[in-house]
């Protein structure tokens, strides 16, 4: 991203350079005796060996500034450190050549290739989209996974996170989605922006080889901040990624799928900075503005008027202790348009994908399904599957207390339905790509194990047409 | 107009500290820096001031100037509000989009809230020489096809009409009346006026509540009714259906004017309203819903200080229509995001935190907001009301947190959303055991009149069954339903029916999304008849399975979808069929 600086020369000259800092605390550097430094602007901090680190102004006042250093502060000394203020926030140089390239967490190329041609420098913080300029997302993405397509359909332009836990196969599922995602009746290929925040090298490798195998590598932009990279950098990694996505979607009119993994690591970095700044913590030590901060990331999804591109977000986050009420999943759930929740119990029973039946939800599904988009019976069969499966959960709880033999005959039928639902509908192969119609047909097959009179959410006509067929 | 009143000293996110402040008042509106970012003075201490800035402060540098107009943060009130979408400080988002030619909201944009070009056909209703006082109607104009805009004397103006404009077309900037005060000084009255958002507009006084706010949502209207002029809180974890309920209210409730405040929530939800409301038809006026709606959208990624202001902007617009004699309903989604904005600003100003980091004045602020609801006698002598429905988003879905707890103290109706119900796709997920409405007695007359005096009784009977069922379910969880006698299983069965066939209501279904009060009464009667006749039959020897297998059982389960609002006679047919079927069962045991 450095090479676009030619045009910024003038501004750089304006930026003053200061020698000596007054204090270093954790990732923060305090500078005194400065003038005219703007809030949120980019700073270059140069240590005695001439190594340049980037940082961002968190607090600016007359004569003093607090800078957060992305790379960390080890090796910085008070008298020898020089600080240059750039007069602008962190920018990412975008252009169509970013496709197929690998960048570090603050957007510098790290794949050894030549610097990509830059068409525009964009502020990584982005701007809020005017709600009146948004286009409501309506096109269903077929992922080939029944639990998603049938019951929690993903819509192009949606932000739908995966709430997972350590050791659960979220990476496999996301990889499967990126392999299989298509729009029914359209021939579009998704560009993928893959942002890694504090994930392990082998996870990153897994994705690279998956993209390689499906031959889409040149359609992927990687923004990588891995587990051993500076954690403060993570603060901007998703923003760099979304800047790339916005460029591809709203300049190049591409359909972009953004994968952000793992948002829990991002939030931890945010907490770290907040703690060092001695801010008043809210729940579990996370800052009170975590919600606003997360929404400045998640809201950068969708479609806008005048452009045919779209940004679909699939953030992955691991719920600490599998606890969905932990601030990270909780606040994410309050911002995203639903969630795909993975369930450890299903995983232990060897059901792949272990997508929890009840807590998963796609809020945009309603507008993307139905006659002309998927099939007329889609909404009702999905709703009936939810209702029936929810009863299964009650029956199982009861059976655990009184024993299966004591259940009413009808409840026994429900138990049977529940098992078939999990084995036949939920569960499928990692490389099994089911069409939406196959998914719906399997749905009907399993629901037909229940007596007709139990199916109140399905209309008479639909029952006649599909029940038991 | 604007004078420099000081310099920026320090920037901490949305809060700016200024020094060298002269000539400023608390809550004055100011502009900061070269971009003229809009802000408001929230703290004054000697020559220092804290300013909350309604726009992103990136790039703002210490030493920049602070300008002031000497006026408080105000809204423009006049024709052209209806059908418009504003941000938290009343900037019209569509105009911003078109004038900036960008899909993004840039900084430092200044556009007036009300269009200056549009002409309105004004009909004066007052003559020269008449004595007028604040709040009086001086003329009328048609703002939308169904809403007549009543032009009011600003509340602080009083005197004799010195001149009044003739009937004709005027822009809002043109003077339509001059009022001479006792001192002889004349005030010009235009088609619009300004009012500071943090101050409630005056009225003659409060009136008792007696009318329900009909929402067309069965669980609300029948079990936990909201009153016109009442307040309700809707707490619920993520995805439990707060926004859907707020949207349903905005669509179907029988208020004259809707003010929908999207406060720190999703952009797409506002887009959804913007796209669907112009197409949805108000069942009463047969006009597009957008014509009675004002939207305030300060989404979660928009500046947090403007989110704090959005609630006040919304309620002030509501008061203005109330003053014209309308029933206004406000939806605020979500007040938790507003409280969090308050918390963030307070934290940045390094105030002492109370509960969970919220400032100690949180309850006061909540009370001030909800107290602006009510049924009023307006200054123009008519009746107008403001009803508020505030969503609350408790962290972790735990209702013991401060915003839920404090809000409950200031409202009289609670629709508690239940995670279990939402997971089972029982929508609206309003818990019948945890929710309540204190308005039932006040509005009962209205319902009694429409139900042949039966409503209160029907309602009590079903509530009673639900309570009994709650207890029986405890037993069922331990031993299963089979051990219960059929006289008790019929309670489970009826409640199951009531939940499925009545309480659940699908907002996406064309028929079911709105249910008239008449249909609600008829449906409730049928379900209670099922219980009554069923119980009689069981006592005669019939069993529960027989009753479930009746064909009419299925008819009842489907009547919400199968019978539309304008053919509710069909429910009587179902009821007759029920009586016949039950009679046949009875005959088997006689
Ligand atoms: N009455 C209803 N009919 C049909 N579906 C509903 C209804 N109420 C809620 N839902 C479903 O629940 C989903 C979530 O509802 P909603 O968006 O209102 O939740 P919320 O409580 O506002 O969540 P958040 O706090 O995250 O904003 C909807 O997208 C919809 O699928
Ligand atoms: Mg909501």
Comparing CA positions, the residue from B559, B497, B469 lying closest to residue B522 is B559
The reported pLDDT for the residue numbered B14 is 87
Q: Which atom of ligand 1 is nearest to the CA of B236?
A: 21
* C-beta separation of A179 from A281 below 8 A: no
Read off the tokens for B70: 């000497």
HSE, CB side, 13 Å, CA atoms: give it for residue B222: 33
The reported pLDDT for the residue numbered B1 is 65
Q: At what angle do helices B335-348 and B304-323 cross, to 10 degrees?
A: 130
The reported pLDDT for the residue numbered A7 is 35
CA of residue B254 to ligand 1 center, whole Å: 22
Average pLDDT for consecutive 10-residue bins of chain B (590 residues)?
86 89 87 90 90 89 89 94 95 94 89 94 94 94 94 94 95 95 92 95 96 97 97 96 95 95 93 90 88 94 91 97 97 94 88 89 95 96 96 94 96 96 93 96 95 95 95 89 91 95 93 94 96 95 91 92 92 96 91
Report how many helices (DSSP H) and strands (DSSP E) chain B contains, helices first: 16, 26
Q: Residue B253 and residue B242: Cα distance in Å, rounded? A: 16
pLDDT > 70? residue A5: no
What φ, ψ does residue A344 adopt, rounded to 5°?
A: -65, -35
pLDDT > 70? residue A65: yes
What is the tens place of the pLDDT at every residue in A393-413? Answer: 999 999 999 899 988 899 999
What separation, in Å, do the N-terminal and C-terminal C-alpha atoms of chain A show? 59
A271, β-bridge pairs: none
Q: Whose CA is nearest to atom 9 of ligand 1?
A: B241
Q: Do A40 and B58 touch (CB under 8 A)?
A: yes
Query: In A, which residues are within 8 Å of B85 by CB distance?
Result: 131-132
B244 lines ligand 1 (CB under 6 A): yes
What φ, ψ does residue B52 adopt, rounded to 5°?
A: -90, 130
DSSP B169-181: EE-TTSEEEEEE-
The reported pLDDT for the residue numbered A8 is 36
What separation, in Å, do the N-terminal and C-terminal C-alpha atoms of chain B show? 91
The reported pLDDT for the residue numbered A251 is 93
B186, β-bridge pairs: B180
Q: Residue B152 and residue B139: Cα distance in Å, rounded? A: 8
The reported pLDDT for the residue numbered A6 is 34
What single DSSP character describes residue B308? H
A154, β-bridge pairs: A141
Confidence bin at A15 (pLDDT 50/70/90): low
Comparing CA positions, the residue from A368, A264, A241, A361 lying closest to residue A311 is A241
The reported pLDDT for the residue numbered A14 is 52
Q: Residue B60 and residue B83: Cα distance in Å, rounded? A: 35
CA of residue B127 to ligand 1 center, whole Å: 53
What single DSSP character describes residue B167? S
B28, β-bridge pairs: B72
B217 lines ligand 1 (CB under 6 A): no
The reported pLDDT for the residue numbered B94 is 94
Name which of A36, A136, A411 is nearest B61 (Cβ-Cβ).
A36
CA of residue B262 to ligand 1 center, whole Å: 15
Q: Residue A208 and residue A358: Cα distance in Å, rounded? A: 32
- The domain A92-367 is placed in CATH, from the list 3.40.630.30, 3.30.1510.10, 3.40.50.450, 3.40.50.12240, at 3.40.50.12240
In whole angstroms, how far apart are CA A188 and each of A104, A148, A181, A246, B291? 28, 20, 10, 18, 39
What single DSSP character describes residue B54? S
pLDDT > 60? residue A1: no
In whole angstroms, how far apart are CA B246 and each of B93, B226, B241, B252, B540? 21, 13, 9, 10, 47
Residue in B closest to A307 by C-alpha: B103
DSSP B216-248: S-HIIIIISPPBTT-EEEEE--TTSSHHHHHHH
The reported pLDDT for the residue numbered A264 is 96
Which residues have C-beta within 8 Å of that of residue B87, sequence separation ≥ 6? Answer: B93, B96, B105, B296, B297, B298, B302, B306, B310
The reported pLDDT for the residue numbered A406 is 87
Mutation for testing the B interface, residue in A15, A39, A161, A304 having most B CBs under 10 Å? A39
Neighbours of A424 (CB within 10 A): 15
Cis geometry, peptide bond prior to residue A32 (ω within 30 degrees of 0): no
Angle at A327 between CA A324 and CA A330, to 5 degrees: 50
Read off the tokens for A127: 């701007």
What is the tens place of the pLDDT at every residue in A336-364? Answer: 999 999 999 999 999 999 999 899 999 99
Q: Kindly report the three-state secondary structure assignment for every residue of chain A.
A: CHHHHHHHHHHHHHCCEEECCCEEECCEEEEEEECCCCCCCEEEEECCCCCEEEEEEEEEECEEEEEEECCCCCCCCCCCCEEEECCCCCEEEECHHHCCCEEECCCCECCCCCCCCCCEEEECCCCCECHHHEECCCCEEECCCHHHHCCCCEECCCECCEEECCCCCHHHHHHHHHHHCEECCCCCCCEEEEEEEEECHHHHHHHHHHHHHCCCHHHEEEEEEECCCCCHHHHCHHHHHHHHHHHHHHCCCCEEEEEEECHHHHHHHHHHHHHHCCCCECHHHCECCHHHHHHHHHCCCEEECCCCCEEEEEEEEECHHHCCCCHHHHHHHHHCCEEEEECHHHHHCCCCCCECCCCCEECCHHHHCCCCCCCCCHHHHHHHHHHHHHHHHHHHHHHHHHCHHHCCHHHHHHHHHHHHHHHHHHCCCCCCCCCHHHHHHHHHHHHCCCCHHHCCCCCHHHHHHHCCC
Q: Which atom of ligand 1 is nearest to the CA of A365?
A: 31
Strand order in the sheet with B131-132: B131-132, B159-164, B175-180, B186-190
Q: Do A60 and B61 touch (CB under 8 A)?
A: yes
Cis geometry, peptide bond prior to residue A270 (ω within 30 degrees of 0): no
What single DSSP character describes residue B431? -
* C-beta separation of B318 from B330 below 8 A: yes
Helix (H) or strand (E) holding B340: helix B335-348
CA of residue A337 to ligand 2 center, whole Å: 9
Q: Which residue has the tokens 């190329």?
A: A109
What single DSSP character describes residue B500? I
Instruction: Name the residue ranges covered by the structural domains of chain A.
Output: 8-89, 92-367, 378-466
Give the SS3 label for residue B307: helix
Q: Which atom of ligand 1 is nearest to the CA of B266?
A: 27
The reported pLDDT for the residue numbered A4 is 36
Confidence bin at A20 (pLDDT 50/70/90): confident
- CA B473, B474, B477, B481 dihedral sign is negative
* C-beta separation of A199 from A171 below 8 A: no
Angle at A63 between CA A61 and CA A66, to 5 degrees: 55
Which residues have C-beta within 8 Å of that of residue A409, sequence separation ≥ 6? Answer: none
pLDDT > 50? residue A280: yes
Neighbours of B396 (CB within 10 A): 18
Read off the tokens for A78: 């008070």
Domain A8-89 has CATH 2.60.40.10: no
Domains A8-89 and A92-367 are alike in CATH topology: no
Average pLDDT, chain A: 90
Strand order in the sheet with B168-170: B148-152, B137-142, B120-124, B168-170
* C-beta separation of B399 from B340 below 8 A: no
Q: Whose CA is nearest to atom 30 of ligand 1?
A: A363
Residue in A closest to B474 by C-alpha: A398
Q: Do B59 and A89 touch (CB under 8 A)?
A: yes
- What ipTM does the predicted assembly reach? 0.92
* C-beta separation of B490 from B547 below 8 A: yes
B163 lines ligand 1 (CB under 6 A): no
Q: Residue B526 and residue B283: Cα distance in Å, rounded? A: 25
Q: Residue A295 and residue A116: Cα distance in Å, rounded? A: 30
């Amino acid at each position: 991203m450095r090479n676009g600086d030619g045009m910024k020369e003038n501004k750089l000259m304006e930026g003053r350079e200061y020698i000596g800092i007054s204090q270093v605390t954790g990732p923060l550097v305090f500078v005194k005796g400065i003038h005219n430094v703007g809030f949120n602007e980019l700073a270059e901090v140069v240590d005695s060996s001439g190594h340049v680190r980037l940082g961002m102004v968190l607090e600016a006042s007359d004569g003093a500034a607090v800078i957060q250093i992305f790379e960390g502060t080890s090796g910085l000394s008070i008298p020898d450190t020089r600080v240059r203020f750039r007069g602008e926030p962190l920018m990412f140089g975008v252009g169509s050549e970013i496709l197929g390239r690998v960048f570090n967490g603050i957007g510098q190329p790290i794949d050894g290739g030549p610097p990509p041609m830059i068409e525009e420098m964009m502020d990584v913080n982005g701007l809020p989209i005017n709600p009146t300029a948004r286009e409501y997302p309506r096109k269903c993405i077929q992922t080939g996974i029944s639990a998603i397509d049938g019951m929690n359909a993903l819509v192009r332009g949606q932000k739908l996170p995966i709430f997972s836990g350590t050791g659960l196969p979220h990476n496999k599922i996301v990889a499967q989605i990126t392999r299989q995602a298509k729009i029914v009746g359209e021939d579009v290929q998704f560009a993928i922006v893959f942002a890694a925040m504090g994930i392990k090298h082998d996870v990153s490798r897994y994705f690279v080889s998956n993209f390689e195998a499906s031959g889409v590598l040149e359609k992927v932009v990687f923004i990588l901040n891995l587990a051993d990279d500076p954690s403060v950098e993570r603060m901007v990694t998703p923003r760099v990624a979304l800047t790339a996505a916005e460029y591809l979607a709203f300049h190049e009119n591409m359909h972009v799928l953004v994968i952000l993994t793992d948002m829990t690591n991002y939030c931890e970095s945010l907490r770290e900075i907040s703690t060092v700044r001695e801010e008043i913590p809210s729940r579990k030590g996370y800052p009170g503005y975590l919600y606003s901060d997360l929404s400045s990331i998640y809201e950068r999804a969708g479609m806008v008027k005048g452009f045919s591109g779209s940004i679909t977000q699939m953030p992955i986050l691991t719920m600490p202790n599998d606890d969905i009420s932990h601030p990270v999943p909780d606040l994410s759930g309050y911002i995203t348009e639903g969630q795909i929740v993975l369930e450890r119990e299903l995983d232990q029973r060897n059901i792949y994908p272990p997508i929890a039946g009840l807590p998963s939800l796609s809020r945009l599904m309603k507008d993307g399904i139905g006659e002309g988009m998927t099939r007329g019976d889609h909404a009702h069969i999905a709703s009936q599957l939810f209702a029936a499966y929810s009863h299964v959960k009650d029956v199982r709880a009861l059976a655990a207390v009184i024993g299966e033999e004591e259940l009413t005959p009808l409840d026994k039928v429900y138990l049977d339905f529940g098992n078939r639902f999990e084995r036949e509908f939920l569960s499928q192969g990692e490389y099994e790509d089911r069409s939406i119609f196959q998914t719906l047909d399997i749905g009907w097959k399993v629901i037909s194990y229940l007596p007709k009179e139990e199916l109140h959410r399905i209309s008479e006509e639909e029952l006649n047409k599909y029940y038991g067929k | 107009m604007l004078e420099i009143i000081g310099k920026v000293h320090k920037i901490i996110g949305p809060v700016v500290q200024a020094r060298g402040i002269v000539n400023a008042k608390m809550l004055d509106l100011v502009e900061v820096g070269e971009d003229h970012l809009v802000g408001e003075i929230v703290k004054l201490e000697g020559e220092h001031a804290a300013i909350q800035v309604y726009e992103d402060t990136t790039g703002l540098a210490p030493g920049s100037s602070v300008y002031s107009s000497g006026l408080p943060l105000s809204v423009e009130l006049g024709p052209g509000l209806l059908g418009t979408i504003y941000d938290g400080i009343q900037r019209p988002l569509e105009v911003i989009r078109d004038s900036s030619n960008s899909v993004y909201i840039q900084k430092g944009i200044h556009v007036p809230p009300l269009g200056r070009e549009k002409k309105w056909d004004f009909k004066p209703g007052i003559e020269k020489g008449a004595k007028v006082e604040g709040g009086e109607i001086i003329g009328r104009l048609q703002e939308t096809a169904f809403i007549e805009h009543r032009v009011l004397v600003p509340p602080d103006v009083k005197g004799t009409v010195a001149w009044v404009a003739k009937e004709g077309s005027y822009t809002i900037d043109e003077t339509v009346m001059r009022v001479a005060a006792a001192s002889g000084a004349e005030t010009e009255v235009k088609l619009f006026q300004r009012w500071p958002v943090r101050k409630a507009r005056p009225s003659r006084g409060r009136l008792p509540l007696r009318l329900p706010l009909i929402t067309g949502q069965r669980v609300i209207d029948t079990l936990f009714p909201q009153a016109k002029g009442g307040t309700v809180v809707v707490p619920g974890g993520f995805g439990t259906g707060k926004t859907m309920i707020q949207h349903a209210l905005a669509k179907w409730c029988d208020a004259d004017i809707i003010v929908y405040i999207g406060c720190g929530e999703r952009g797409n939800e506002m887009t959804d309203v913007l796209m669907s409301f112009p197409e949805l038809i108000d069942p009463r006026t047969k006009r597009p819903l957008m014509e009675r709606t004002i939207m305030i959208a300060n989404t979660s990624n928009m500046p947090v200080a403007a989110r704090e202001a959005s609630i006040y902007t919304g309620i002030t617009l509501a008061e203005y229509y109330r003053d014209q004699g309308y029933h206004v309903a406000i939806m605020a989604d979500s007040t938790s995001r507003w409280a969090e904005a308050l918390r963030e600003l307070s934290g940045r100003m390094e105030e002492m935190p109370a509960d969970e980091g919220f400032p100690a004045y949180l309850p006061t602020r909540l009370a001030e907001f909800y107290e602006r609801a009510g049924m009023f006698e307006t200054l123009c002598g008519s009746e107008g009301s403001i009803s508020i429905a505030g969503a609350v988003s408790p962290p972790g879905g735990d209702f013991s947190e401060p915003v839920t707890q404090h809000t409950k103290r200031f409202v009289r109706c609670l629709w508690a959303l239940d995670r279990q119900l939402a997971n089972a796709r029982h929508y609206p997920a309003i818990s019948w055991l945890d929710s309540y409405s204190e308005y039932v007695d006040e509005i009962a007359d209205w319902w009694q009149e429409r139900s042949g005096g039966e409503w209160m009784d029907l309602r009590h009977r079903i509530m009673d069954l639900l309570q009994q069922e709650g207890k029986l379910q405890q037993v069922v969880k331990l031993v299963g339903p089979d051990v219960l006698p059929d006289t008790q299983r019929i309670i489970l069965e009826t409640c199951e029916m009531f939940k499925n066939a009545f309480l659940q209501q699908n907002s996406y279904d064309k028929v079911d999304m709105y249910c008239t009060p008449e249909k609600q009464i008829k449906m409730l009667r049928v379900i209670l008849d099922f219980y009554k006749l069923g119980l009689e039959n069981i006592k005669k020897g019939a069993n529960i399975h027989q009753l479930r297998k009746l064909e009419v059982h299925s008819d009842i389960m489907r009547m919400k979808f199968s019978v539309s609002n304008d053919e509710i006679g069909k429910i009587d047919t179902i009821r007759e069929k029920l009586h016949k079927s039950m009679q046949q069962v009875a005959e088997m045991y006689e």
